[in-house]
Structure 1
Amino acid sequence: MSKRLPHFEMSSATPEQKAVLDEILSGPRGNLNGPFLGWIHSPELAQHAQRLGAFCRYQTGLPLRLSELAILVTATRWRAQAEWHIHYPIALQAGVSEADAETIRQGHRPDFAAADDALIYDFASELYDTKRVSDATYAQAVERFGHQVVINLVGLLGYYALVAMTLNVFDMRALGQETLPFAE
């Protein structure tokens, strides 16, 4: 799990920790893979973060393929081993091509077949690279997806950056992860 955090035992969880874990396990995720066993040492943060994460992952208004593409861009930018490991197969199943995912993992922009994929990649990359999004990219995103979805996309990128930071700071790996997608 993590050498930087105290070992967590479900049997000794506080009522607040149990409430968070129960909500995660009974929700759409159904597992604790990712940052949750790190966040659980701060149950209030864990509860707020996991609820935000459920929204950002499942209710942004973006198709799953585009959400997962944005997550892969984030994982690459942060070199978040577990985030990539968890979301890579989900992205492929959602329709991100293996070639595009590999190009992203290597830190390059794919030659996307779909305009929406290129727009999501460009939006995320501009935000990570310049800490802003150009007027042209912003206008294109709003025209294609609408203001609410663009706001939700920014939330998704911010949430998965938080996930990546958590995984990286506490040197967390995904359940069953044996290989690393990024050199350390």
Structure 2
Amino acid sequence: MQPSRLPAFDPNQASPEQRAVLDEILSGPRGNLNGPFLGWIHHPELAQHAQRLGAVCRYRTGLPLRLSELAILVTAARWRSQAEWYIHHPIALEAGLPAETAESIRTGRVPVFEQDDDALVHAFASELYDQRRVSDATYGKAVERFGLAATVGLTGLLGYYAMVAMTLNVFGMRGDGQTALPFEE
């Protein structure tokens, strides 16, 4: 679905810089342009750096996919990002996140967690979004449980997906095939 605030983008009319970004995205682990890329493509240098950062944040955080997707859903709910939720909700469920947990996050309730790691990632993300900091206790638990590199990866993932949510929200972007909205506008 073409975003309403952006001019139509025709890949056949792409500049060499835009073509390079498109080719890298389409040949990488994503393999599609679903998400913020059709917004960022209007600034090819930003698009190139952002999509490379995104590949690290999404695929190489050092956390299991379930935990990364949980953090993305917390971000999508906090930003009420329609496309981000639409794209990542099924991935999170497939990665093992319980549907009840996802629904609690979507509606702004604190989930009842079945796994301690899920509760820790939710607490970390919630503290960061609510307090703009993470408490010493939560930080210490994250480093002890996941290691320093994965805690840095989690922090980067939360920042990256906040930027994704901002892009999707500013330009009114929707996911490919999205017809229903998980959040009120």
Are 1:145 and 2:146 matched, yes or no? yes
Please, what is the CA RMSD of the aligned residues?
0.5
Are 1:131 and 2:132 matched, yes or no? yes
> For 1:151-182, what per-residue CA distance to the aligned partner results, in whole angstroms no more than 9, with x for missing partners?
11100000000000000000100110000000
Deviation, structure 1 residue 5? 1.1
TM-score w.r.t. the length of structure 1 is: 0.99
Q: Indicate the percent of aligned positions where both proteins have the same amino acid.
A: 72
Alignment match, 1:12: 13
Query: In the aligned structure 2, how far is the partner of 1:108 from the partner of 1:169?
Result: 25
Query: In the aligned structure 1, how far is the partner of 2:91 from the partner of 2:60?
Result: 16
Are 1:56 and 2:77 matched, yes or no? no
Query: In the aligned structure 2, how far is the partner of 1:48 from the partner of 1:38?
Result: 14
TM-score w.r.t. the length of structure 2 is: 0.99
Q: Secondary structure at the match of 1:117?
A: helix
Q: Secondary structure at the match of 2:133?
A: coil
Deviation, structure 1 residue 136? 0.4
> For 1:58-90, what per-residue CA distance to the aligned partner results, in whole angstroms no more than 9, with x for missing partners?
001000000000000000000000000000000
Alignment match, 1:157: 158
- Return 5+ residue gaps in structure 1 as ranges: none
Deviation, structure 1 residue 6? 1.2
- Return 5+ residue gaps in structure 2 as ranges: none
Alignment match, 1:170: 171
> For 1:124-162, what per-residue CA distance to the aligned partner results, in whole angstroms no more than 9, with x for missing partners?
000000000001000000100111111111000000000
Alignment match, 1:75: 76
Q: Which runs of 4+ in 1 moved over 4 A?
A: none
Deviation, structure 1 residue 4? 1.1
Query: In the aligned structure 2, how far is the partner of 1:68 from the partner of 1:49?
Result: 18
Alignment match, 2:86: 85
Count of matched residue positions in the alignment of Structure 1 and Structure 2: 184
Query: In the aligned structure 2, how far is the partner of 1:109 from the partner of 1:117?
Result: 12
Alignment match, 2:43: 42
